[in-house]
Chains A and B, each alone.
Chain A
């Protein structure tokens, strides 16, 4: 053990001296984290604020109250915020709003989508909506015309959506909401018409008000991602970290072959130490650099990118396990290689293959069959799965994944240990 520690210390000193320790253990992970933050930064800053929808309610009837109820429900779900557009005297048409109205007829209710159009000068409320749109106080506005209830069934009623070309998401959302509202109204008018054809006494306003105000049958509820899986930022950061650490560990394990190539292995083997301690020392140094690298990337991705690696104890266990697996796999490969160069090439291929199979670049679907089986051969897969499990259930949830990685490390490492041991006692 003492000899292994001496060799590990010597290796780390060499790594410090030739700067590969900083390059591969600190700078490369930080650079990688920085690249991630550039690529994924917009996502890292979180979901954008929900669009603000304005309601121009010129109707102010029981029917338009249904629109308010609907907007309340959607706002409660966190999808939008909405406010009623209040009248403002003498609001001029905002400059820069150009274009013409476009619309579509749907039964006896009409949705008119107006993008960047001049307002109807007759409507002060609508003018105020345009002002708010131009001032970016609103992302879109829904205009419910006066006399909507009375118009229903007799003439086409028009609900207008006002939007800005630079806020298409908000406009589309407002369109969807207005469309949903109109669909309800259509259903109501059909009901009224059907009852009327059968000779019944139809209280049309009452029916329409009830239809418009009916509660939402389905509601989308957003839950925190940490309760079900890793968010994209964390997934990418952890995936690339575990992918990269295989190459970092590779350098240390390849050091065994470098010692052979450079002639220093002969002196190590001539020393009064067990051959296993030479292997142990090399692996220990590799594991130290690998763990350090992952810790740096963990911290950097958390600080720079807002990644959420989750329960620290679980993450530490996963890191230790996956670095051990990397050392085991790469040692097994190196043990059978004829030269350091050949080992490096094969190790790279193995690291990339396992990384892709494990879903470090993109999550692979759990489609079952051979692919699903192959995915489970990769420690990367178990690492990322462990991260997700830890995010949802803490250390206990991640333990099976840790054990899977350790089993992988034990098998590959055991093979490498025996094969390298035989290589050193030729």
Chain B
């Protein structure tokens, strides 16, 4: 397992979290840290234990074992103080449809001790952040799904938390709203807010997260930056050559190209493992250019988190 980012001071420290529901062990000793200003992603398929983990981190759910501290202060299901420093954006739309956006925010803000002018200013600020200021007086039930999601995020930001926890905030939204949400999170992270982000979308984890923890079956199976995780599984590019003719001869010629690690003959051509395949394309084309071989296409696949997940767990991320 890759260690925590030593360049950042740890804000959130999660150690050996465990939780069972009857016979089901939902979380089996998960540990990670999130530094100040860092965006940390928990990546895993549905049912991997991500939501249970962050529910314990947020103090919603009791844990069977382990500890959570935020800025050194313990967070538990019964403690009150530490929870004030956490902003939670649940996966469900945790807003009231019969209230308008400002009323929703005012209610949640008051629960966090905000009031008066400060509350009004914070409401305006977070509505501005998520692009809903001009719709503040509209009942939430009249919002689109994407707008509700953005308001859901705004409610988590209202009280100036040190850590923002987002549980799959883009589930079920259209691409445009999804883009807007990701942009908002990028801006927040850029502003120095620590973010703990769960998703089963590889692209979101790659785009947003400084470090990623891969979760499967209640365990954190690996963590690190994207590059570190890719290196964990070898970091080889996968090159597919669609060709016909004397494929054995073609394979022999390609093996001589520096950087090519392995070559296999397949039904429709060749499959190569190579380091830095994009830089080898010219040489590969030159090696394949000869009598008896007809090349119809070359495809280079760089390793991604999907491949990492597949390599580490033996199953696809969306299983």
Contacts and interface: CB of A to CB of B under 8 A. Distances in A.
Interface string B61-94: 1100000000000000110110110101011111
A425 B62 contact: yes
Nearest to B95: A264
Interface string A267-288: 1111111110000000000000
B127 to A, nearest CB: 17
Interface stretch (A12-20, A88-96, A205-213, A223-231): A12-20
B112 to A, nearest CB: 6
Contacts, number: 70
A266 B88 contact: yes
B299 interface: no
A399 interface: no
Contact of A266 (B60, B98, B112): B60
B55 to A, nearest CB: 8
A10 B107 contact: yes
Contacts of A275: 78
A228 B139 CA distance: 54
Nearest to B76: A425
A266 B110 contact: no
Interface of A is mostly: helix
Interface in A1-32: 3, 6, 10, 13-14, 17-18
A268 B92 CA distance: 13
Interface string A13-56: 11001100000000000000000000000000000000000000
Contacts of B88: 266-267, 270
A425 B92 contact: no
Interface string B141-178: 00000000000000100000000000000000000000
Contacts of A338: none
Contacts of A262: 92-94
B111 A14 contact: no
B84 A272 contact: yes
A267 B108 contact: yes
A369 interface: no
A272 B79 CA distance: 8
Interface in B97-137: 98-99, 103, 107-108, 110-113
Contact of B113 (A13, A270, A272, A425): A272
B80 A273 contact: yes
A67 B155 CA distance: 89
Given A270-B59, A273-B80, A425-B62, A264 B94 contact: yes
A267 B81 contact: no
Contact of A272 (B60, B62, B80): B80
A275 B80 CA distance: 9
Interface string A415-426: 000000000011
Interface residues of A, number: 22
Contacts of B139: 17
Given A6-B107, A271-B83, A266 B92 contact: yes
A420 to B, nearest CB: 15
Nearest to B93: A263
A426 B22 CA distance: 12
B95 A268 contact: no
A263 B94 CA distance: 5
Nearest to B110: A6
Contact of A264 (B83, B96, B103): B96
B260 interface: no
B90 A267 contact: yes
Contacts of A13: 99, 103
B58 interface: yes
Given A425-B77, A425-B78, A426-B61, A271 B94 contact: no
Contacts of A6: 107, 110-111
A10 B110 CA distance: 11
Nearest to A19: B98
A10 B96 contact: yes
A262 B95 CA distance: 8
B104 to A, nearest CB: 9
B86 A270 contact: yes
10 contacts: A10-B107, A17-B99, A263-B92, A263-B93, A263-B94, A267-B94, A270-B83, A270-B90, A271-B108, A273-B111
Interface of B: 55, 58-62, 77-78, 80-81, 83-84, 86, 88, 90-96, 98-99, 103, 107-108, 110-113, 139, 155
Given A263-B93, A267-B94, A270-B90, 10 more contacts: A17-B98, A262-B94, A264-B92, A266-B60, A267-B88, A267-B108, A268-B111, A271-B112, A275-B78, A425-B78
The 9 closest A-B pairs by CB, nearest first: A263-B92, A272-B84, A267-B94, A270-B88, A271-B111, A266-B90, A17-B98, A272-B83, A269-B60
